[in-house]
Every structure is written in structure tokens, then in C-alpha cells.
Chain A
Amino acid sequence: MAKQPDDQRLELLQGTLDMLILRTLQWGPHHGHGIGQAIRARSDALLKVETGSLYPALHRLVKRGWLKAEWGVSEAHQRARYYRLTPAGKAQLLREQDRWSQLVDAIGRVMNPEPAGKE
């Protein structure tokens, strides 16, 4: 895993962390550290999730009923909280994914307009 210099790192867009967490957990339950690492790895270390935002976000999602938390034992033989998607969480992920692709599409059209007269 190549280390990215700090200035190339991207700030997370507001409101996207929840979606990223839900997406990460689609592959199965994980603990907080693992989720952070997974997001970082999948974004080729471009996205770095601050623990100060990650944990409150996890708890917020549990409170909303989209995640379920259970105590387990981690690879470090430590008590760790494992988070798992609930059915409501899965539905929410689908909604967020839809919204996200619409947003990307819309922003893309604004930023890179197709040549006029093509349609």
C-alpha cells in the first residue's frame, strides 16, 4: 500500500462518510479500525477517515437502526465492537447509492458539458 503525501489526500464530502461505511460493511461485519482501513485501502489511500469522525458516525448509524453492533474478539485478542448492516441499512445504502450516482452525473454534466447540438 503506497503512502500518499498529505497534500494529495482528499477531504471527504459532507454526508458521504455514512454511505462509505454502509458500502464497506456490505462485504460483512467489521470493527471500526477495519472499516477505516478498508475505506483507505479501496480509495488507494486517497481518502483518509479520521477516527474522530468515524466512531461518532458509526454510533449515529446504530442509533438510526441501519447498523447493528456486537462485541467480539479482534485479531489483536482485544474486545472489539463489530458492526453489521441491518436490512434497513441495506435499503438505505441503495438509496444513498442512487442519490450519489445522480449527484455525480449532475455535477459531471455541469463540469464537462457535452458539445452542443449533439442531441
Chain B
Amino acid sequence: MRPHDDDLDDEIRGHLAISIKERIERGEDPASARLAALKEFGNLTLTRDSMRRVWRYGWLDAAEALGRDLRFALRALLRVRGLAATVVVTLALGIGANAAIFSVVRGVLLRPLVNRDEDRLIYIRQSAPGIGAENMKFSMPEIGDIESRATTVAAFGDFSTVDFALTGLGIEPRMVKAGVVNGSFFDVMGLRPVLGRLLNAKDDGKDAEGAAVLTYRFWTTALNSDPTVVGKTIRLGVRSATVVGVLEPSVPYPTDTEIIANVVTSPHHLGATMVTSRTHRMTDLFGRLAPGATVEAARAELTAAYAGVVRAHPEAYSPRANVELKISRLRDQIAAPARTILLVLLAAASVVFVIACSNVANLILARSVRREGELAVRAALGAGPGALRRTLLAESLVLCTAGAVLGVVLARPLVAVVAQFAARFSVRALEVTVDTSVLWVGAALAIVAAVLLAYVPRLPSPQAPAGLGLASGVRITPGTNRRLRIFATTQIAFSFVLLAGAAMLLTTLVAMQTAKTGFDMRRVVAFDVPSAATGVGIGDVDFYQEATRRIGGLPGVEGVALSMFVPWRDAGSFGPGIQFAVDGYRPADGEENPRARFRVVSPRFFAVVGVPLVAGRDFTDEDRRGSELVAIVSQSVAQRLFPNGEALNRHMWWTDPYFGGKPVPRRIVGVVADVDDESIVRGPSMAIYQPVRQIGVAGRLFVRASGDPYAVVPAVRRTIHDISADQPVERAATLEDIRADVLSPDRLNAFVVAGFAGIALLIAVVGVAGVLAFSVSARTREFGVRLAIGSAPRHLLARVLSEGVVIAAIGVAAGAVGGFALAGAASKVFEHVQLPGALPMASAAAVLIAAAVGASLIPAARASRVDVMQALRSE
């Protein structure tokens, strides 16, 4: 319906033509008729504009008015630069933190995987909450049972991780992690090659040729994207394989491996244990849903099938383990470990945003009180409430836009930091980049803030006596004062929640870092010297024997020993402990045999790592194959299973089927102090040690140095390479550094939350100081009167200080109440919600009160120094 601009012109032209024609018909000459017609018409452009304006939408007018308001706001704000800058920076911190964390949350939790039809990909796991195993993985017989009963899953892919010593490809011999997969794995995962082909059904089974696919990361970093790599032959330990292709970049799950190979490359996968033992669980299981099937349907069907399997094989599933089958979308499974921490961060960031907003609200409110005169004048001149509100909205819009722009700029580096942090929990965080979502979040937050802020100040009400607002000078109404205090209290309350959280994380961290471990942490270096390179056998022991002899002779080396397990770093690699029995101990009815950690160590190991021998003797070189089988137990084994802890010369034997059916008794020759080499938080530590020369291999070398432990590393490496050039020697680190490395996610958690708490504290201090400074400056007259009638300056000082403390105390109380409520709500959603102890709570409260006192000092000092005469004359 809306006419085109040309139509408007045509209509005017038509009018003129008729008018001219009439005049000519009346006898005027054409030239003067034309002039007269134009004169009569008046201003052509103006008329056309008012015609056009009829058709314009209402919001265009509003936009024009807003434009005017924005220009006005910009000019007004330039006059109060300090305030504007504070507001912008505060908002930028709030918006930047949220935008950054949201992009990471989006990238890690929400973005789809590259896999084809990734929402049809599921991950199936077996968990045993009864023995603390979240993910037990599967054995091949279990996978066979599940596969044969499934109709809702079109195909299954299995994946198990092994270590290979890789030689070939023109790079140094190195240990690689390899995935060993069945033929349908890549088809199930829906991945494509960037070079060559992936593994398929023809590569499955024990008669296929050895074939391996390189992962994109390995190909690009170790091989410089060598395009000729396809077709080359590599050696993987004892077998060889042909490189058939390179996998596209994809999220590595469950393990980040260098290569993915078929079953024939791994002798272990072809062995009887792997193929027939129901409890030999080392394989991850993936599935692709059948057309039309949902995750829920698959869950229902597979859970029922699994229950049948468990019933059919009671010997493999102890009732105490309480096994169950868990099925989730692959995407959710990958993101799960990062979910909690990211949501916590998101919550922390939104708390910072709330604090920032309430602080800005405070500043704006204080400013608007000073502007009350101006607003009253504008209202008196006929500006309606809408127009006044629009003026305020324009101002907060300018502030918030500036804050958002700065916030988005801040968010860019923050995304990188947060992504690196989140990468410790989920590999997906590595691919997070800054994208437009940062902009959207920033803009949305800015608009929310702007609208909220515009509604903070009270408008001069038409009913109010007009004279009040128009009078010069600043008066604070009780309502405004209350609002200012409420905002300051809100900031303190939210800061308290963050501070208490940060204090809790820090105290936990300090407790973990300073805990006694029982090891000599600083002087012992651990090396991975994996045995797979030279194969498994007794010859291996000779290699280690020779290596330890030569290393023991190096300068700066005080002792050298072997083990199979580096504390903490190898945690979890042997499952939740192995069942065993001892002479004279019979478990109570319905209870299982006890479980202990199985460790293989060489003579002098305990001396090298600093674990004291409590009774009996250490292993010696005479404890070898063919001599009497012996074992050393940890103190808790001795105390729990033997009367009076007298374990020496009694016998123990493993009852787990993994060690074969027949029990092989071993005489206990020694008892050592307890150490917990699995978990950071020291727990029960039943462990049984066996001598390396009776078992075979160890693979971990421990060197005790007399001086700088890292100084001996090159010599050790050289010595081993002298004996066997192909032997990998990797990951040299002191026990202290290994533990610190394992602790680093906790440390990062604590630092990030502490960072947020610091920002929050800073903003809150600015807020409290601002409120009091404003309240003091507006009450100059009151203070003057008080001084004049004999109040001592220090009373005024104390008065203002106590106002600050009251705000802080109420804030802390509100924060504590709110925080507990929040924790209560959170514990319904998340499994592990801890409440901070008394110490973190008290220290957070103390910090806040101290900060409030500090923030009140300057305004309080100013109040006590008010010049009586000037104050009384000021109005």
C-alpha cells in the first residue's frame, strides 16, 4: 500500500500540470502560469516529505528521537569522564568474562562433532560403582554378547589402547599410543581419510595384513604432513604394518593416539586372554544407532540384554561391584568431564556480571541524584516519563555499548586462556576458537545491562512538589539512599560467595600440595623405559640388569631401581586392585577376598624412593625365577589381615583369574610403610610387591640423585642407548613434578575461581567506597551541623566507618545464606558439591570486612574534616 517515492513526485507533478492548464485556459501566458502554480503550491520538498512521513512507521520516529538522545548522552557523558570510564571498565570485565566462558562452553558442550551423523553415535560403558570404577571398559566376550543381542544399534566399533615402540618412517624410535580397532570402527564413527583409506572389514581378523592409519595430529606434527607416507611399512614392537592412510582431524576419544591399527598388529589382541577371558576388560565400545532407533530405545534394549549377560556369568560380576551398563551420546560422553567445571565457571562469570551491573547501577544512581535538578527542569518543560526514561536509556546504552566493545576485545585473549584450562578436562576445548558467538553474547549482555540500568533511577514524579527538584544542591531521598545501600550489599553478598568458593578451593589445594606422601619427592627421577621395544621375556631382565648396573656407576647417582609403576602418573592403569588371599585370613560370609595393588619392583626400590622397610628384608638379586617365590606387603595389609600385624613368613596368593586358575603361594619376606601411589588425596593403600626377576618386566626406572636430579637425565639416557639404540627413554621427571603435574587441574581451578573472586572483590570495594563517598558528600551540611553542636570529628569518622562495616556485614550474611541455598540447589544437579569449611568462610568474611573498612576510610576521613562554616553556608 505504501506509495513509492516516484509516485509521490508524479502526484505533485500531476497537480502542477492541472493547475497550469487551468491558468492557461483562464488566459495567462504559459510562463507566468507556471510560476504562479509553483508559487501557489509552496515548498515542494517539504510537502513531499510530509506525505512520506504519513507512511513512515512509528518506530522510525522513535529511532530518530533515540539518535538525538544518544548524541545528547554522549556529550553528557564526556563531561563526566571518570565516572564513564569506571562504568565502562566494570561492565567490560563482566561482559568479557561471560562472553569468553560462554564461547568455551558452546565449543565444548554444544557444538556437534565432525563425525557423520554425530547425533546417532553412542558410547557404551560398563561401570561398577560398588568398587569405584566409573568405566570398567569391556572384555571381548562381553562385547560379543552385547553385539549379538542388539537390534537398535546398526553396528559396533571397538577400540583398545596399547603402547607400541614405533620404528620406521625416518623418525627416531619412539613409544606411541595406538588404538587397536575392529573392521567396522571407522564406519561406525563416520570419519573420513585425508589421505589413502581407513581400516575396513577386510582388515579385521587374525589373517589380515597389518595395517595402520595415522592420526592427523601425528601426521602433521611428527611427519610434517609427508604426502608419501601411504604405503610405507612400519614396525610396531614385534609386528609390522603398512600405513594405509591418514585420518581427518577429529576429537580423539577415548585416548589421544598417534596411530590406529588393526587387530593383527597386536599379539596381545590375538592371545587367549584377550579373546576368551570375560574379565580381561580393556576395550571401549562405540555404536551407531540403527535407522529409526533412539538413544532411549538403545538404552532400554542393551540394558536388558546386559542384565541377561550378567545373570549368565555370575563368576565374572561380583555382587559387590554392582555393575551396570551406561549409554550416552558420544558428544556428551566426551564433554562430560568438563561439564561441571565449565558450568561452575559460567556461574562464577555470571556472578561477576551481577556484581558489575549492581556496581554500575550504583554509580548511575548516584549520578542521577545529582541530575535530579536537570530531570525536573525537563519534566517541567513538558518531557513525559517516556521521554525522560529514553534519555536515561540512551545514556546507559552508550555506556553499555562501550563496555561490550571493550569486553569483547578482552574476551579474545580470555577465550584462549579458558580453552587451555578446559582442555585438561575435555580434548574438545583444544578446537575452541573465538567466533561470533562472543559478539552475540556481549551484545545481549550489554542490552540487558542497559535496560536494567535505565530503570534504576527514579524519575521526578509529577505529584512531587516541583520546587524541590528545581532547587540547587544535592539531596538524597531516603529511597535513593536505601537503593544505593541495597546495591552495595548485593555486591558484597555475591563477592562473598565467590571468595568463599575460591578460599575453599585454595585450602583444598594447599592441603593436597603439602600432604606427606611417604616418598622422597625431590631427589628421585622417574623414567619410562618401556619394555615393548625389545619384546617381552627374560632377556629383558638382563637388559635392565645391565642398565641399572651401568647407571648405578654414573657420577651423581646414589641409587637406581626398577618398578612397573610411576606414582600418580600411571594411576588407574591396573584397575581398582586385584583380589588375593593369605594364610589364616578368611573373609566374613558374603564378603569377597581383599583387593590389593599389584606392584613389581627391583631390589633397592624402597631405599631409592625413600619408603622405609618396617620389618623383614628387601628383595635381593637372588629372588629370581627358579628360587623361592616371595612378596613384600604394605603395612596396612599386614595390620588388617594378620593377628598383631605379624605377616613375615606367612604366604599370600592371587585369586584373580587374571593370574591363572591355580593359586601360587608366595612367602612374605618384608613389610614396608604405606604409600598411596594412585591418588593425590592419600587413602587406604593395600599393596603387594613382587620381585622383578620373578615376574619378567618392569619398564619404569627410578634414579636417586645426590645433587640436582635433572642433571643425571642426559647421562642416564645415553647409558641406555649405549646398550640398546632402539630403546625409548621418556618422560623423565622428579616425583615432586609428577605430582604437581597431576595436581595442575586443581591448581588451575583454584586460580581461575580466585581470579574471578579478585575481580569481584575489586568491584565490590569500588562500590562500597563509592556509596559512602557519595553519601558523605551529600551530607556535608549534616556533618557541619553535627560538628557545630559539639560532635567530635572522630565520632563522625567512626559513624561513617560503621556504616561501611554494616553494609559489609549484612552482605556477608546474605551471601552466606544465599550461598548455602545455592549449594543446596546445586547438589541436586551435580554429584560432588562441597561446602566450604569454617576456615575458608571466616577468611572470606574477614577479607570482605577488612576491604569494606579500607574502602570507608577515605570518605570517613573526609566527613571528619568537614569545615563547619563552609558546610553551613553551602546551601
Q: Contact: A32 with B15, CB < 8 Å?
A: yes
The yes or no answer to B223 lying at the interface (CB within 8 A) is no
The yes or no answer to B513 lying at the interface (CB within 8 A) is no
The yes or no answer to A50 lying at the interface (CB within 8 A) is yes
Closest Cβ of chain A to B25, distance in Å, is 10
Chain A contacts with B in 27-45, Cβ cutoff 8 A: 31-34
The yes or no answer to A15 lying at the interface (CB within 8 A) is no
Bits for A9-37, please: 1 = Cβ < 8 Å to B, else 0: 00000000000000000000001111000
Closest Cβ of chain B to A62, distance in Å, is 8
Closest Cβ of chain A to B588, distance in Å, is 91
Alpha-carbon distance between A106 and B51 when the two chains are bound, in angstroms? 34
Q: Contact: A56 with B47, CB < 8 Å?
A: yes
Alpha-carbon distance between A81 and B12 when the two chains are bound, in angstroms? 10
Report if A31-B21 is in contact (Cβ < 8 Å); known contacts: A56-B51, A56-B53, A59-B54: no
Alpha-carbon distance between A75 and B20 when the two chains are bound, in angstroms? 12
Alpha-carbon distance between A100 and B15 when the two chains are bound, in angstroms? 30
Which residue of A is nearest B46, CB measured?
Answer: A52
Q: Contact: B17 with A78, CB < 8 Å?
A: yes
The yes or no answer to A79 lying at the interface (CB within 8 A) is yes
Pick from B10, B40, B51: contact of A55, CB under 8 Å:
B51
Chain A residues whose C-beta falls within 8 Å of the C-beta of B12 in the assembled complex: 55
Chain B contacts with A in 1-36, Cβ cutoff 8 A: 1, 3, 7, 10-15, 17-21
Alpha-carbon distance between A32 and B3 when the two chains are bound, in angstroms? 15
The yes or no answer to B42 lying at the interface (CB within 8 A) is yes
Closest Cβ of chain A to B28, distance in Å, is 14
The yes or no answer to B41 lying at the interface (CB within 8 A) is yes
Chain B residues whose C-beta falls within 8 Å of the C-beta of A63 in the assembled complex: 1, 54-55
Q: Contact: A74 with B18, CB < 8 Å?
A: yes
Which residue of A is nearest B24, CB measured?
Answer: A76
The yes or no answer to A99 lying at the interface (CB within 8 A) is no
Chain B residues whose C-beta falls within 8 Å of the C-beta of A69 in the assembled complex: 3
The yes or no answer to B43 lying at the interface (CB within 8 A) is yes
Report if A56-B50 is in contact (Cβ < 8 Å); known contacts: A50-B42, A51-B41, A76-B21: yes
Q: Contact: B54 with A33, CB < 8 Å?
A: no
Bits for A62-94, please: 1 = Cβ < 8 Å to B, else 0: 110000010000111011110000000000000
Report if A31-B18 is in contact (Cβ < 8 Å); known contacts: A50-B42, A52-B46: yes
Which residue of A is nearest B49, CB measured?
Answer: A56
Pick from A50, A51, A56, A75: contact of B15, CB under 8 Å:
A51
Chain A residues whose C-beta falls within 8 Å of the C-beta of B14 in the assembled complex: 31-33, 74, 76, 78-81
Pick from B13, B21, B42, B55: contact of A52, CB under 8 Å:
B42
The yes or no answer to A60 lying at the interface (CB within 8 A) is yes
Alpha-carbon distance between A69 and B14 when the two chains are bound, in angstroms? 14
Alpha-carbon distance between A80 and B1 when the two chains are bound, in angstroms? 17
Alpha-carbon distance between A76 and B55 when the two chains are bound, in angstroms? 28
Closest Cβ of chain A to B505, distance in Å, is 64
Chain B contacts with A in 164-184, Cβ cutoff 8 A: none
Report if A52-B15 is in contact (Cβ < 8 Å); known contacts: A75-B21, A76-B21: no
Alpha-carbon distance between A51 and B50 when the two chains are bound, in angstroms? 11
Chain B residues whose C-beta falls within 8 Å of the C-beta of A80 in the assembled complex: 11, 14-15, 18
Chain B residues whose C-beta falls within 8 Å of the C-beta of A33 in the assembled complex: 14-15, 18-19
Chain A residues whose C-beta falls within 8 Å of the C-beta of B21 in the assembled complex: 75-76
Q: Contact: A59 with B10, CB < 8 Å?
A: no
Q: Which of B11, B12, B40, B43 has the most CB of A within 10 A?
A: B11
Report if A75-B18 is in contact (Cβ < 8 Å); known contacts: A55-B12, A63-B55: yes
Alpha-carbon distance between A47 and B43 when the two chains are bound, in angstroms? 20
Chain B residues whose C-beta falls within 8 Å of the C-beta of A76 in the assembled complex: 14, 17-18, 20-21
Chain B residues whose C-beta falls within 8 Å of the C-beta of A32 in the assembled complex: 11, 14-15
Q: Contact: A51 with B47, CB < 8 Å?
A: yes
Alpha-carbon distance between A33 and B41 when the two chains are bound, in angstroms? 10
Chain A residues whose C-beta falls within 8 Å of the C-beta of B20 in the assembled complex: 76
Chain A residues whose C-beta falls within 8 Å of the C-beta of B1 in the assembled complex: 62-63
Closest Cβ of chain A to B47, distance in Å, is 5
Chain A residues whose C-beta falls within 8 Å of the C-beta of B17 in the assembled complex: 74, 76, 78
Alpha-carbon distance between A78 and B15 when the two chains are bound, in angstroms? 9
Chain A residues whose C-beta falls within 8 Å of the C-beta of B42 in the assembled complex: 50-52
Alpha-carbon distance between A118 and B20 when the two chains are bound, in angstroms? 57
Chain A residues whose C-beta falls within 8 Å of the C-beta of B54 in the assembled complex: 56, 59-60, 63
Alpha-carbon distance between A31 and B42 when the two chains are bound, in angstroms? 18
Alpha-carbon distance between A50 and B42 when the two chains are bound, in angstroms? 8
Report if A55-B18 is in contact (Cβ < 8 Å); known contacts: A50-B42, A63-B55: no
Closest Cβ of chain A to B289, distance in Å, is 57
Closest Cβ of chain B to A117, distance in Å, is 45
Q: Contact: B50 with A52, CB < 8 Å?
A: yes
Q: Contact: A55 with B46, CB < 8 Å?
A: no
Alpha-carbon distance between A72 and B231 when the two chains are bound, in angstroms? 82
Alpha-carbon distance between A52 and B15 when the two chains are bound, in angstroms? 12
Q: Contact: B18 with A52, CB < 8 Å?
A: no
Closest Cβ of chain A to B6, distance in Å, is 10
Alpha-carbon distance between A62 and B2 when the two chains are bound, in angstroms? 10
Alpha-carbon distance between A63 and B50 when the two chains are bound, in angstroms? 14
Alpha-carbon distance between A80 and B19 when the two chains are bound, in angstroms? 12
Q: Contact: B13 with A78, CB < 8 Å?
A: yes
Alpha-carbon distance between A75 and B50 when the two chains are bound, in angstroms? 26
23 A-B pairs with C-beta separation under 8 A: A31-B15, A32-B14, A32-B15, A33-B14, A33-B15, A50-B42, A52-B46, A55-B12, A55-B50, A55-B51, A59-B3, A59-B54, A62-B1, A63-B1, A74-B14, A75-B18, A78-B18, A79-B13, A79-B14, A80-B11, A81-B7, A81-B10, A81-B14
Give 9 nearest A-B pairs by CB, closest first. A80-B14, A78-B17, A59-B54, A76-B17, A56-B50, A76-B21, A78-B14, A33-B18, A33-B15
7 more CB-based (< 8 A) A-B contacts, given A31-B15, A32-B15: A31-B14, A52-B50, A55-B47, A55-B50, A63-B55, A74-B17, A75-B21
